[in-house]
Each structure stands twice: as C-alpha cells, then as structure tokens.
Structure 1
Amino acid sequence: MPAGVAAGHPATAEVGLRVLHAGGSAADAAVAAALAGCVAETLLTGISGGGFATYYDAASGAVTCLDFFCAVPGLDGDVSPGLMAPIEVVFGGVPMSYSIGAATVAVPGLPAGMGEVHRRWGRLPWHRIVAPAVNLARSGVVLPAAQARTLITIAPAMVPGFGADVYSPGGKLLEGGDLLFHPGLDVALAALGADGPDVYYTGWIGEQLVKTVRTGGGAIGPADLAAYRVLELPVEHAPLAGAGVFGRRDLNNTIPTIATLPNDLAAASAPERALALADALLNHGRQRVGDTTNISVVDFDGNACVITMTLGLGSGVWLPGLGVHLNSMLGEGELMTSELAPGERMPSMMCPLVVIDDDGELLIAAGSAGASRIRTALVHTLVNVLVKNSDMTAAIKQPRFHVVADPDGGPPVAHLEPGYPTDEVAALAAAGYQLRWWERMDHYFGGASAVGHAGAAGDPRRGGMGRLA
C-alpha cells in the first residue's frame, strides 16, 4: 500500500506530502492539508466550516468516524435570528434557491475537529501542523481554472461585502491562474497554531465571531461556542467486489446504497452494471447546492485519514481583519428540519470512507466533494477501481452520470458527462431514464480524491491533485 496524498488543490496536496516526509502520521498530514485547504480552496471550505473524518489504524484494523460538522445555534436563548437573504445559483441551467447573511451562520466545527484528529492520532507538534497554512495565507495561492469556473456559478454568495475584495478585485472575478489572497487570514491561522482550537470558541476569535454574527442578525452566542464538542460516530460497512466499504451513515445513505448493489457486479456486463448503479443511486437521490472539499492520506505505516469539509456556499459575512468567511449552513434549507434544536448537529451528505479487504488490509482511502453528488462520485470511483480495475487517476477522471427524480413526477433524469459509454447510455434510455447531457466535465459531478493500491488522484473537475510519497 503506497503512502500518498490526494486533495482538491495542488498546494493542499503538497502540504500534506511535506508533512508525511517530515515524519508525520496520516492524521498530521490530513490536518495540515485541510488547514491549507482553508487557504487554497476557499470557494469550497474555510476555517469557520465543519466536516467529518474517517481514520483507519493499520495496527489494529480499527476504523473511527468523527463528526465536527456545524451545530445549530441558540443555546444562549437571548436573541432571535433575523432574516436570511435569498440568492439564486444555477447548476446545469437549473436555478436553485439558497440563503446567505449572518442569520445563516451555524456554530463552526472545523477548528475543534482538526484539534481532535491531531490529538488522537498526530505525532508532530501542533504548531508545525498549522504553520504551512499560515505561510500559504501570507503568500496567497494560484486559483485553478476549474475552481475559477466554480466561482462564476457561486459568485452571488462569494462577492457580497469583503468577498468582493477577495474574489472580484477591481470589479472583475478572478480567473484561472490569478492569485487568491485573503488579507488577515494568516493572523487567524497563526492564532490557531499558537493558542489551539479553543481560540475559536472561548478565546478572542470566538468573541469576535459572536459580535460579528449578532451585529448582522445571527444567533450564535458564547454558550453555543463553549458547548461545542467533536463527536465519535457509529461506523457502518457494506460489501463491494470482495471488499468492505466503511464510513458513517450520511444524509444520502452512501454506505446503504453500496449495500444494495448486486453481489455479482463484476460479472455483469457494462450496461447491466450502469443500470444497477443508476437504480441504487436513484433510491436515495437528493439535490443540494452547498460545496465541499476532501483530503485523503495514507502514511508510510499504512494508516489512513480522510477528511471532508465544507463552508456551505459561504454567508457573505466575514470576520473583520481576519480574512475568515463565515459558513452559511443554516441557509441550506434541505438540511434544516423542525426537529433540530439549539446545540444539535446538522445533518450532512459528506462520507469520508475507507475500503478494506477480507484480511483487514487497506485498499482505498477516499472521499468526495459535491453535496448530493458526493455519493455518486464515490460509487463511480469505487466501482471503477474495484470492478473495472482502473488506476486511480483514470477511475476519478472517467465520465460519470448522476440520477435524480423528476420534480414534476416524470421519469427519472440521468445527468451525463460527455464521453460516457454509448452502450451504457442506451441501457439507461431503454430503462426509461430521461437523458440530460452536459457540455463538458463539470464540478457538478463531484470532486473525489483518493489514495490506494491503484495510486493517488484528485478530481480534475475541481483542480484536484494526488501524489504518492
């Protein structure tokens, strides 16, 4: 099993690789890369967001899932949130509703999550893990062309307020190859390295977060931040092509979806396999706008750490002088239900996972970005590696389809990337799926990153990169 890193940006992957070569564990490298992603991939994530981690311990074969996703505010009970600001973003020509503003900001979990992953499985000192992100924040990073295309789609959430200075300097959206720079973000990350995650909860950054959110009409208070804790979750598993896939139960039921795939998938023809995948995905299909990124790491001892994290789309609210864009998780209406009370964790479709063979040996560490397309990207990637025997680069790059129910009650829709095999497309059409072709490979279809026996790769749909150590 090779050591390596796969992530959503070349700079993110490079940070993780350097930490591995410096003697860091998979957890050290994943946390360092995740924090670097909070600088290099701010269209997708940020230090005020949240997420999940899955860790595989090679010595014991144990798999652990941690929840550091965002929590519902309101424990202080002294304010009522104001109105959210509705916006519209367009995916694949389909307008989708969303909300931003201070009232959409949920209690962040990412600082606490990074601290907990490092506390449990890290080797190197904390300040060394945070330092690469601080350095990136001081210099800025190059924006990949794929992420520049994403910016065009989500600009309504990114450019309000201080975001205009970051993403649209001089009134012109950043393009691929431009420098992405967040003034003050180095200060916020340096405080994390010096004072630890508590600075974002009971320290001075936490105080500034409360003041900023409440000034704008949000509900986060000191009690919300002080009560936040990282949770350990039950681990589920499903068989696939003679191996076991392990991860958390997510909102889109990734592990149960894999469990419904036929046991003889490898013996099926390509069209039969496509139909089996489409039908399994359709049974749990959802649509969601928010965006995410993922880091997958395997170290030289065979341990693996996969971290998936998100900012939502971003609230358009920034911490003054710190370059920190606050999350907009409460603005994702599909994630909010009447049962969610203050202090409770919000649900999510993120599902960092590992694949283990019958002898307990690690085969793949993988995760994906893409909201409701996370499950789609993961299932396609795993089938490509385990059933089609593709190397990791080809497995992630191959065209995908994503199926959804027709909102008007018609036949289900299969969204297809260019180049998807014609015999499989014909099978989908014959089975009654409406076909909706996309003009090019697109970030809509997720952003997988994985390390395994088949190599390391990031998703070209989002400018990702994978590198073996």
Structure 2
Amino acid sequence: MIHRRQRKLTCLLVNLTVVLFLQATGHGDELPKHGLNAVSDRGMVVSVSRDASEVGQRVLDAGGNAVDAAVAVGFALAVTWPEAGNIGGGGFMLVHPPQGQAPAMFDYRECAPAAATVDMFATGDESQYRLVGVPGTVRGLELAHRRFGRLKWAALVRPAVELARDGFVVSQELAQSLNTVLAANRDNGELQRVLGKDGGSRPWQQGDHLVQPDLAKTLQRIAEQGSPGFYEGPTADAIEQEMRRGGGLITKADLAAYEAKERTPVRGTYRGFDIYASAPPSSGGIVLLEMLNAVEGFQLRREGRWSAKTLHVMVEAMRRAYCDRARYLGDPDFNTIPEFLTSKEYGAKLAESISLTRATPSAEWGADIYLPAENEHTTHYSIVDHDGMAVSNTYTLEDEFGSRIVVRGAGLLLNNEMGDFNPKPGVTNAKGLIGTKPNLVAPAKRMLSSMCPVIVSKDGRAVLVTGSPGGRTIINTLFCVIMNVLEFEMPLREAVDAPRMHHPWMPDTLRIEERLQKEHHSELQRLREMGHSIEEPPKRQGDAHSIFISRDTGKRLGVGDLRRHGWAAGQ
C-alpha cells in the first residue's frame, strides 16, 4: 500500500511538472524542439552552446546513444566555449544506462605531474605554468566511449574539427567572454593570436566568425588516433615544449602515464527517488547527499519554499556538509573516505544539531579548518537519448580560460587546476588557507573538486539530469535545484530559474542571488535576526542546464539556464 501511494505521488509530480512547463512556455500541443526550452519524444541535449547542443542532437539523429552525443558535445565545446569547454582540462561524467544496468562514473580529473612536491606552492609566488595539471578530458571521453559508445570515435570528434577548421558564428555571450579575457591579457601574444579578432586588435561582436586552425589540426589527430593523438606524438611534444618555455612541470612521460578511471558513483535517496552523483575526488556527491539526508526529516514543503525556516534549515545543512568536505575529502587513491558521511543515520545526527531559532556559528563547527577559494568557470551539459540512457557531464579548465596558456602550434588552452590542492602543509588560518592532509599535493594525485554531475532516477529510470559550474557554489546550486523539484514540486523551468543561495561553512557568510533579496526581503531579515550574515547579492550562481523525463509520456523537457542562455536541442 505504501509503495502504491509513493508511485501515485511520483506520477502526480511528473504530470504536474509537464503540465506546468507547457503552460509556462505557452506552447500547448506545438512543442518546441529547440531553444531555451525544448520538449522531445526522443533525445535531448542541453548545453551552454547552441552549436555544441546541435552537434549532440545530430549524433543522436545518426543513431548514436547519449554517451556518443556526450563525447561529441565535449569536443565541440572545446571549440565553441573556450572559457571552460576543453581538451586541456578535466572533469567527471555520470552515465545512467537504460533500465537494468548500474550507473557508472568516469573520473577524468587532472592530476599532479611526477615532479610535483607537497610544498611546491608554499611561497605563493609560483608561475601560471606550475599551476597546470596533467589534462584528463581526452582520455576520459575515450574511456566512456569505449565502455558505452555505439558510433565510431572519429565520427564523434569530426564535428569539432569542422567547427574549428571552418569556423562558427560568435554569439553575444561568447563575444563578451572572449573580449573580457583578451582585454585582461594584452601581453599574452599567443592567446591574442589564437582567440583574438584580427590578432586582438578589435573586439568580437555577435555575428562574427571564429576560426581556430591550430586547434583543428590537434582535434584531427585525436579523431584519427584516439587519445594517443593527444598524449603522444606532436601534441604531447608541443605541450612539453610549452611547459619548458614557462617553467612548468609536465613532461611527455606525465602525459603518457595519465589514466582516466571508472568509479562507482555515490548513491542516496530522497523522498523515494534515487540520487546518483559524482564520487571522490569530486566532493560534490558526498556533500550533496549529506545535505539532502540532513533536511529530509524536516517537513519543509509544509513550511513553504521561501519561508525563513526552510531557508535556515537548508543553510545549516550546507554549513555542516561543507565542513565535512574540508575535513575528510580528497583523492580516494590517496585517502580513506569515511563511509558514514552519506548514511541516513549521520544525516539524522546533523539534523538534530540544527537549532530552529539560531544560526550555528561556523567557528563552533570545525573551528580549526578553513577553505581556500575555488574558481567558478566550469561548464555542464545534460543528455538523454531515445532509449532512456542519461549522461550528466561537468568539466573545466578551473579559472576562466584556465591558465590562459595556449600551447603554441596546438591551439589548445591548458588548465590551472593545481591551485585546487592545499598549498601549505599544516598551515590553516582565518585568511583562507587550509593545510589538512587529504588534499595536499602529491605526484599523480588528483586535486579535490566541487564538480557534481547528478542524475535522479525512479524505479531504475532517469527522471532528472542536472549539474552546474560555479566552483564551490556548484553543490549548493544543485541542492537548490533538486529541492525545488523533489521537495517543492516546481516545474523544471521554475526550478532552474528560482533564486539560489550558497553557504560554504567558511567564510561564515550566506551568499544569495539578487532576486532572492528583492522577492523575500522580510524572510531574509528574519535570518539576520537568527544570526546569519548575508552577503551582497552576486549577479548569478551557477548554470544548471537540465533535463526532466516524464515517466508517463516519456517526453524529455530540456531547460537551458537563463543565467548563461543555454540551448536545448531535441530530436
């Protein structure tokens, strides 16, 4: 009886989401298949770039599955969204196969080169070249394709080759992104040559044409040779030479030794739904499940999404989970991660520690640990194919355009991920340094990440595919989106658009988006009276391009986040 009631509630939730989505977009029976909002009976791709999303759609049209499309989109974004799309960085891919197969996670996070030392950043004056980690994207996409792909590898990389070789139309968002980084790096000759308009002499405008011939040659080698076309041969030679030129540590031996890894994703439940998310060295999945477990015992739906109590409980869950992130999490190949962190029992213990009338000062909750800053320039895309296979992929160069180092002759940007390690062993202070052991530098070690691709399923079938960029805000962005859908029954468009908040434990400050301040001023004042310190609103938090799959009709609802004007492309 309980099971039937739960199933009925789930169906009502899905039906309500579909109906409200169609009402909100005003399309009725004429469902749009492309745009900021899209609906399809078959496959769906949502990313930050229209060109990349349409590449994924064409792969699905050609008979490829969601992983095939994810590989093609990943390479296409390296061309069309160089701020974060990459072959010189790394990330995590979560795959939920059709019903009956276990979900899988592919870890292609960058790692430290063999010459790295535990105290290499202790002086704080290292060059950008020493911040470059060994890239993982190409090996990661290849591993996922080898495990689940259907189409030939070369056919999946070829669209990116063509976009780089023949060029594509620059969007308003890309023009702004390029102009910002180019203006801030006038003395970076190779960056200006490769990504600048007329060598950097004029600003980009919407409608311009961007061509990247060096990158096209690099991608062509990857298309023809697979990962050896990147980790060996001319591209590896060019990367090693670039490192020597600037005093970096990566060698051809480091590149050849890099391995992407298939891992088991973390799994939890919330209100009868299964939550799958990235496992360490991503901190995202464990922290997300901690927060969901901590709030599940509260009747927040009854309180209302924007009540002071709901906001307070969510913030206190964030505070506690982010503290555990600092204390316990790092590369699992170098650390033992406590299993209790994602248990319902531990979540209940965290819930019991939450006062409903008073904010817990972070100094009382792990006062000996502080967190460093983590940059926000990542990108995420979500894909669902006709058979129901779902892919959630988040990858990054770390900072905006990574290290801003363009490998000469190869046209690719390198990451600056080594900065995500703890810089000074044993030195932890109120200025933001953290020196705890789990995330100290070591050769071949992967640095801790906040990336958090997520897939929510019910009865073995994917229901929600989501993820976001945003550095340490990523996990809290997804916490907000998932709560909006599963707890408060918002339609997907509303759930993604809703204002977000972020508390990182340290510093002890709540960040809120401007809309939350405008629309719920009185509730925020109540939070202040409870002891919460609220920061001036940022322009935006995250970029959650998402897909919802109706369990009744099978329709895929693709939603591009307005914060970055993403693009959904359905079959």
* TM-score between both structures, scaled by the size of structure 2: 0.72
Task: Quickly say closer, same or farther: Cα 1:2–1:156, change in 2 above 3 A.
Answer: same
**Partner residue, 1:251:** 283
The CA distance in 2 between the partners of 1:158 and 1:136, in whole Å, is 25
CA deviation vs aligned residue, 1:82-102 (integer Å, no higher than 9, x gap): 99997xxxxxxxxxxxx7622
Task: Quickly say closer, same or farther: Cα 1:141–1:396, change in 2 above 3 A.
Answer: farther
214-223 vs 384-393, greater mean Cα deviation? 384-393
**Partner residue, 1:466:** 568
Given residue 370 of structure 1, which amino acid in structure 2 is its aligned partner? Answer: G
**Partner residue, 1:94:** none
- 1:110 and 2:137 matched: yes
The CA distance in 1 between the partners of 2:99 and 2:505, in whole Å, is 43
- Does the CA-based 8 Å contact 1:35-1:47 persist in structure 2? yes
CA deviation vs aligned residue, 1:200-242 (integer Å, no higher than 9, x gap): 1122211221121122111111221121111122321232233
- Does the CA-based 8 Å contact 1:85-1:101 persist in structure 2? no
The CA distance in 2 between the partners of 1:393 and 1:382, in whole Å, is 12
420-429 vs 190-199, greater mean Cα deviation? 420-429
**Partner residue, 1:128:** 155
- Does the CA-based 8 Å contact 1:457-1:467 persist in structure 2? no
26-35 vs 373-382, greater mean Cα deviation? 373-382
- Does the CA-based 8 Å contact 1:84-1:100 persist in structure 2? no
Given residue 73 of structure 2, which amino acid in structure 1 is its aligned partner? Answer: A
Identity %, equivalent residues: 29
Tell me which of 397, 401, 410 is aligned to 1:311: 397
**Partner residue, 1:261:** 295
Q: Which sections of structure 2, spanning at least 5 residues, go unmatched? A: 1-40, 323-370, 425-434, 551-556
**Partner residue, 2:315:** 278
Tell me which of 141, 161, 168 is aligned to 2:168: 141
3-state SS of 1:70 partner = coil
3-state SS of 1:461 partner = coil
- 1:209 and 2:309 matched: no
- 1:194 and 2:194 matched: no
**Partner residue, 2:544:** 448
Q: How does 1:62-461 map to 2 (within 5 A)?
A: 62-74=102-114, 101-150=128-177, 160-169=188-197, 170-249=200-279, 250-252=282-284, 253-263=287-297, 264-270=299-305, 271=307, 272-285=309-322, 287-313=373-399, 314-332=402-420, 334=422, 339-357=440-458, 359-405=459-505, 407=507, 412-419=509-516, 421-422=519-520, 424-438=523-537, 440=539, 442=540, 445-453=541-549, 455-461=557-563
The CA distance in 1 between the partners of 2:376 and 2:171, in whole Å, is 19
- Does the CA-based 8 Å contact 2:266-2:277 persist in structure 1? yes
The two structures, once aligned, show a CA RMSD in angstroms of 2.9
How far 1:107 sits from its partner (Å)? 0.5
How far 1:166 sits from its partner (Å)? 4.2
CA deviation vs aligned residue, 1:230-278 (integer Å, no higher than 9, x gap): 1122321232233121112333522322222224443332213222222
**Partner residue, 2:99:** 59
314-323 vs 146-155, greater mean Cα deviation? 146-155
The CA distance in 1 between the partners of 2:530 and 2:178, in whole Å, is 36
The CA distance in 2 between the partners of 1:3 and 1:54, in whole Å, is 17
How far 1:453 sits from its partner (Å)? 2.2
- Does the CA-based 8 Å contact 2:179-2:204 persist in structure 1? no
How far 1:419 sits from its partner (Å)? 5.0
More strand by share: 1
Task: Quickly say closer, same or farther: Cα 1:24–1:387, change in 2 above 3 A.
Answer: same
How far 1:415 sits from its partner (Å)? 2.6
The CA distance in 2 between the partners of 1:191 and 1:138, in whole Å, is 13
How far 1:35 sits from its partner (Å)? 0.8
273-282 vs 361-370, greater mean Cα deviation? 273-282
How far 1:405 sits from its partner (Å)? 4.7
- Does the CA-based 8 Å contact 1:241-1:266 persist in structure 2? no
3-state SS of 2:444 partner = coil
Rg larger for? 2
Q: Which sections of structure 1, spanning at least 5 residues, go unmatched? A: 87-98
How far 1:81 sits from its partner (Å)? 8.1
Q: How many residues align?
A: 448
**Partner residue, 1:14:** 54
3-state SS of 2:515 partner = coil
More helix by share: 2
CA deviation vs aligned residue, 1:319-341 (integer Å, no higher than 9, x gap): 22221111111234558967331
- Does the CA-based 8 Å contact 2:512-2:537 persist in structure 1? yes
How far 1:395 sits from its partner (Å)? 1.9
CA deviation vs aligned residue, 1:418-454 (integer Å, no higher than 9, x gap): 25541543443343323334374x3xx1111111226
54-63 vs 27-36, greater mean Cα deviation? 54-63
How far 1:5 sits from its partner (Å)? 1.0
The CA distance in 2 between the partners of 1:258 and 1:371, in whole Å, is 20
3-state SS of 1:218 partner = coil
- Does the CA-based 8 Å contact 1:296-1:450 persist in structure 2? yes
Given residue 310 of structure 1, which amino acid in structure 2 is its aligned partner? Answer: T
Given residue 492 of structure 2, which amino acid in structure 1 is its aligned partner? Answer: M
The CA distance in 1 between the partners of 2:486 and 2:209, in whole Å, is 38
* TM-score between both structures, scaled by the size of structure 1: 0.87
156-165 vs 297-306, greater mean Cα deviation? 156-165
- Does the CA-based 8 Å contact 1:106-1:220 persist in structure 2? yes
